Amino acid sequence: MDNQQLVSPRETEHSARGLDITEIMAVLPHRYPFLLIDRVTEMARRQRIVAIKNVTVNEPFFPGHFPGLPVMPGVLIVEAVAQAGAVLLLQEIEEHRSKLLLFTGIERAKFRRQVTPGDQMRIEVEVLAFRSTAARLDGKVYVADKLVCEATVSCHMVDRPQPR
């Protein structure tokens, strides 16, 4: 059966137009300063997602990384890959607001270029494997069509702690 036949009208609409920041925040628990995607431009259910991160000089890490030469930390670029993948996968879980996806592994991470203020990262994530509680994702990040980072990430789904 073709995956597109399984997509609800709401998911089809999202696939066609993507998600804005409000819709992303409805899926992800991350908030400032750790929400690292601004928009989703493409989604293919259980297969692929493309997200955008606009990098500004106002990011909280730039004053210390590095003074006089602001460079986005590579670990945060990989985190953006994981967050984009989480947006895609958490929508597959009916009770996604009660779940979190946590890193279990990062493989073959390579950083090809620096990401600096003014850059727009295009984060492309493909699902390599997905089960109800675990996933493996292949991510590539581009700035102006130049590859800046690639990594394979693994994650495990857990229950989100309830507020006290």
Domain boundaries, the chain: 3-159
Is the CATH code 3.40.50.150 the one for domain 3-159? no
* pTM for the predicted model, two decimal places: 0.89
Catalytic residues: 65
- Max distance between CA atoms of the chain, in angstroms, equals 54
In angstroms, the first-to-last Cα distance of the chain is 44
pLDDT tens string 60-105: 999 999 999 999 999 999 999 999 999 999 988 888 888 899 999 9
The predicted model gives 49-65 an average pLDDT of: 97
Q: Which amino acid is at 47?
A: Q
Calculate the average pLDDT of the chain: 90
Closest to 151 (Cα-Cα) out of 132, 136, 164, 163: 136
Q: What band does 10 get if pLDDT is binned at 50, 70 and 90?
A: very low
